[in-house]
Amino acid sequence: METLETLTERASGPPRGASARRVATVALTALAPACWGTTYAVTTELLPPGHPLFAALMRALPAGLVGLALTRVLPRGDWWWKTAVLGVLNIGAFFPLLFLTAERLPGGVAATLGATQPLLVAGLAVAVLAERPTVWRWAWGALGVLGVGLVVLGPQARLDAVGVLAGLGGTAAMAGGVVLTKRWGRPAGVGPLTLAGWQLTAGGVMLLPLALAIEGVPQWIDAGAAAGYLWLGSMGGLIAYTLWFRGIGRLPVGASAPLVLLSPLVATLVGLALGESLSLPQSTGFVLALAALLAAQFNPPTAHGRPARGGAVQDPMRQERLR
C-alpha cells in the first residue's frame, strides 16, 4: 500500500519553495484539529449518553485496524513499546477523558481546558526536547487561551470537578504525546498513516477490556449514533491523526501545538451554523485566538526587523532533515 502512504506525504503537490511547503504543511495539519472541533457536537447530539469509554473505543480500534489492513506493517524492535506509550497518551487516555469531559462540562469550559495544550507542550518541550522557552511562545499561548475563553465561556458555564480533572488530564496526555512523537519521529520507511494505525490500534486494545467491563455496549445504537461513530473514527480518527503525525514530523513543535486552538474555534462555527450567535466579546476572542494561532507559526523578529534564527523564512523541511 505504498501509494496510500505517499498520498499523505505528497498531498500538497509539487513544492514550489520553502514558503509554499510551509503553508501547505500547516494547512494540512490544521485539518486534524478542525475535525476534532466537531467532537463535542457529535457526542452531545448523536451518541448514546453515559458511555465515554465505548465512544473512545469505537473511535480508536476500528480505525486502527483499518490502518493496519491498509499498510500491512507492524512495529519492529523498540517501536513496540514506543507505540504502546504513544497509543496510551494520544489515544487510550486522551479519548475517554475527552468524551467524559464533553459529557460533564459545557462545551465552552471543555474547549478552554483543551486550549491550554500549547502552554503544556511548551513546558514539556523544555524538558524533553531541550527547547529554550521564549516569551513569544508563552505570550501567544496565553493569549490563545484568553481568546478561546472569551469565545466559549458564558454566564451559564458551570464547573464540575470530575469534568475539569478529566479535561486537564486529557490535555496533559495529548501534550505529552505531541512532544514524544516529535522526539521519537518515525522509523525509516514508515509513513504517518502507518503510525496512526499503530497508535489507534494500541489505544483501542487498551480501551477494549475497560469499556466492556465498566460500561458495556449501549442498549440502543440508532442510525445517528452509527453515523457519529463512523465520523469520529474516520475523519476524527484515522484521517485526522495521519495528517497530525505528518505535521508534527515536519513542523516545529511550537508551531504545531497551537493549531489545536482550531478545535474550539470550529466548535464555535458549528454552533453558529446551528443558529447560535456571537456577542462583541466573543467575536473579539475569536479574532484573538485566531491571531495567536497564526502568530505561533512564526518566530519573533529581531531588533533589525528580520525573523530570529530558525524563523519562518528558513526552510522547515530542510531543518527537519538536518535534525
81, 137 Cβ separation under 8 angstroms: no
C-beta atoms surrounding 266 within 10 Å: 21
Mean pLDDT of all residues belonging to the chain: 78
pLDDT confidence of residue 303: 45
CB 29 within 8 A of CB 246: yes
* pLDDT at 320 (0 to 100): 41
Give the pLDDT confidence score for residue 14 in this predicted structure: 47
Return the pLDDT at 147: 73
pLDDT value of residue 276: 63
Provide the pLDDT for residue 137: 66
Residue 73 half-sphere exposure, CB side, CA atoms within 13 Å? Answer: 24
Distance CA(94)–CA(244), nearest Å, equals 15
- At residue 151, the pLDDT reads 65
- Report pLDDT digits (tens) over 24-40: 888 899 999 889 888 87
- What is the rounded CA–CA span in Å between residue 13 and residue 15? 6
Q: How many residues can be counted in the chain?
A: 323
| CB within 8 Å of 309: residues ≥ 6 apart | 299
- Which stretches in the chain have pLDDT values below 70? 1-17, 106-113, 130-131, 133-134, 136-138, 140, 151-159, 271, 274-278, 282, 296-323
The cell numbers describing 144, all together, are: 490563545
pLDDT for res 203: 95
Q: How high is the pLDDT of residue 139?
A: 74
Predicted pLDDT of residue 15: 46
Give the residue among 265, 297, 270, 295 at the shortest CA–CA distance from 283: 265
What pLDDT score does 123 carry?
A: 74
